[in-house]
Structures are given as C-alpha cells and as structure tokens.
Structure 1
Amino acid sequence: MKIAVVSPVGRCGSTVATLLMAYTMAYTQGRTVRLCYTGENHAIKRYVGKDTAERDATRTISQVSKLLEAHAIAPDDLGDYCLKMGTNIDIMDSWDSALTEEEVTSLLVFTFSRNVADYIFCDLAYSIEDDTSQAVLKACDVVVVVSEPSRASLKAIRDMQESEYWPKGKPCMLLVSKYGEEIDSLDNLAKQAQFKKRATCKIHYSPLITKYCNSGQLDTIIPYIIQRDPRVIEFNADLKECTQFLLSLQEAKIKWEG
C-alpha cells in the first residue's frame, strides 16, 4: 500500500504522524515498511536518531539516480540502498543537493510507485500543487491529511480538497494531530474539514512526544504505547484507529496486543 501524507499548512506534525504510523505498522503487524519524503526533510531521520548514521558511499541517492537513468536497477534491489530504521522498517533518502528537481522526482516516483515493501509512507513537504507532490499523489493508494485542531488548518483542508490538484476519488483519512478533548470534539473537527467521522483519526498532544523527538528516540516510544504505559496511554487507541483505517482498505484484520 502506498500512503501519501500531506498537510495544508506547515508545522502541523505530519512528520511525527508519519513516523508514528509507520513504526506502529511495522511493530504491531510485522509488515515491511518503507519511508520516503520530499524536500530537505532532516527531521524524519533526526527524530529517530538516524541523521548521523554512516552511509556506504557506493549506495547513495546519487548512485540510485544514475542506475535509474541507465535502467540498471530493479525494485527488489532498492532495499540495498535504504537506511535501516528498525525491525521491518527502512528509509529511502530522497534528497541530494547535487541532483536536479527532475532527478529527485524521478527517483521518488520510482521508489514510491515500484515499491516492494508492504507499506510505503511518503511525507510530502510541499503543497499539493508541486510537481513532485502531484507525482506522488497520482501514484498513491490512500491520502492521509494531517491537521492541527484549528479553524485555519481545517479551512485550509476544505480549500485543498476543492483544488484542481486534489487527487479526487482516492481513499482519504483526516488525522488531527496535537489533539485534546478540551479543544473540541473529533466529530466537530471532522465536520469543519468536511470529513466523515469514520475517516477521521487523531493523535493526542503530549510533551513526551516532543521530548522523544528532541532526543532522537521517537521510535522507542512505540512499545510503551502498545503496552499502555500511563504516560502515553491515549496513543494506544489513537494509533490503533489509524492502523485499523489503513488495514480496512485492504480488508485485513488488525493484530493488537495492547
């Protein structure tokens, strides 16, 4: 399944949401998961302490680009050029200042559309009008829209859906990040964004998430969430709902220990 993660405005928590969904899928379902991204997104690796990982100079994104140009790489071989992020999960670097925008887009679309992992998440940094975003949205199976529980963000989602660039006809999930019941009910937030309740999920706000991101340990919080640690107990239901939504599109049953 190819999952595009978009946000109508910046700093809505889409990278954190992408990582939490991806790691939860890999950890709880035992599925293979691949991450990719648009733009110069250092946070996606920094949040899990992989931003300083040493890479084989012969297995860089530039090398993959050259192999693509020469039609000398198969989808099954892409894993050899990915950075291992944990059990069942890796990431394909999709940014290099030495590459042109066209080369980056070509690499990303190949990685995304010809993916051999069970699930691939692409964190889109640019607006949906961007050429690279359009290429990913065209290739994806489902769109996850991440938004803060604010009127401005929810209005931006309505505007985005009315745009000619919106991928109409594809399954879509609204994921409200930094959520708190004291702000508003999830039903009301879904209505403001013109989403149905069954296609709306949430991720609660917690300073502990920020702490783990800052220390590069976000991936280590997943077992605590599944085990219903009191510090992150709200996230158990949150991530279960997100996982169930994605699995339901494949008519697959969820495995959940917590």
Structure 2
Amino acid sequence: MNESIKKMYEQEPKTWYAKIIVALIVAALLAWSLSTVQSTGSNGSGLSVAGKIISGIFHPDTGLLFDLSTSGVAYLLLETMCIAFLGTIVGAVLSIPLSFLAAANLMPKPVALIFRVFIMAIRTIPAFVYGLMFIRVTGPGPFAGLLTMSLCSIGMISKMFIESIEDLDTKILESLDAAGCTMFQKIRYGILSQLFPDFMSTLIYRFDMNLRDATVLGLVGAGGIGAPLIFAMSAYKWNQVGAILAGLIVLILIIEVISSKIRTKLARG
C-alpha cells in the first residue's frame, strides 16, 4: 500500500517550476504597481481634522442629535433609510422579470445573452453618475435618490437572482409534474420555495449597501443625510459632524443586527 502511494507521488506532474514563474510574475506586477504610487507627505492638517472628527463623535451636538424637526438627525436618517429601502424594493421588482429573461436554463441563449448584456450595462455605471443624471431630470431631493438606488440595485440583484434561478433543482419540478400538480402549484411549491431564501438574502445584503450609498448620494443633493454632513464639515462644525456620524453608526448597527437575525432564520429554514 505504501509502495503504491509512493509511486503515485513519483508519477505526479512536477508543477513547482510553473508555480515559481507565476509567483515571480505576480511579484513583478506588484512592484510595477507600487512604482506608480506617489506620496506628497503630510503636514499634520489631515491628522488634525481626523482628530477633530473623532472628538466630535464623542462630543456630539445634542441639540441636532435629538432634534425631531425636518432638519434633525433623526428625520434625515429616516429619510436616508426610506430611500435605501424603497430603492431596494423597486429594484427587486424590476429585477425579477429581467432575471428570468436572462436565465440560460429557462430562455433561449440569444435572448438570455441580450438581457445579460443589458444588465451588465446598467451595472457598469457608478451610483454617483446616476445621481447626477436624475438630479438633472427630477431636481434635487429624495425622489432622485430613490430612482438612483432603484437603478443601481437592478444590476447586482439581477445578477444574484440569475445565479439562483440557474441553480434550480429541476428534479423537484419533475416530481411535482408526475404527481399531477398544476402550473400554479409547481411555481408555488417547486420554484418559489427554492428561490425565496436566496432572494431574501440578496435583498437584505443590497439594502445594507443602499443604506451606505444613499448617504453618499446626499452629497450631490439626492436627499438623505449626506448633504448636511458635507455642509457641517465645510463649516468646520465638528460637533454637528459628530452628531450625524453618531446617528449613522447607531442606525447601521441596528440594521446589521436585524439583518443578521433575518439571514440566520432564512439559513435555518
């Protein structure tokens, strides 16, 4: 037994030289990439600003933090969360038919390829660019952020939905067909039961991403808490910056805890 194993090891192809060549190529690419990095040095102002931001988080403007008017942190965070949530829902609704049309196991390959290219084209444009486009169309405000989040969500959600659809276990559908189930019953018990956990996990993950993107979109006037944040930083009002960041941290932590529990429940059935 030991002799046969020894012979198998001796007959194994010697690939160490190929691994060394690949390692050398990777090292050369890293060295070439690092050669383009330039540092202009630090005059200490950046560290000073970072220190003031951290100090602002621990000493926030309580008047702004607990202000319940439309200019308070609570309202702005709620607006940001609504933009992210509705953008995720609208994007998911639009992604479902696109995903089924782009699934190679359900549609002819030319049709699936056309819709895959369309989804890929949507995914290539950054959210910041979409935000600038929709602000020109609808004007600044939460509606521009909603449209931006919806369109940006289509690219990722459709891609994940397509993978789930193509991984469907067709044997379950054949079993339901043999049992005499109707088309509605096959969709209800054979397709939706398989796709629902994956679809929900994708939506939760995308909502987390949209919540952060919606904050950034506020910088271009697409609603949310981003614009007050940049205005406070530009005016060097670090206590207001700290209040806004503290609210964001609390909101993201709450959303993370809730989404983790939902994902765990979906994983356990």
- Considering the TM-score relative to the shorter chain, is it more than 0.5? no
Larger Rg: 1 or 2? 2
TM-score class normalised by the smaller sequence: under 0.3
TM-score by length of 2: 0.23
Could you tell me the TM-score, scaled by structure 1's length? 0.24
- Structure ranking higher in helix proportion: 2
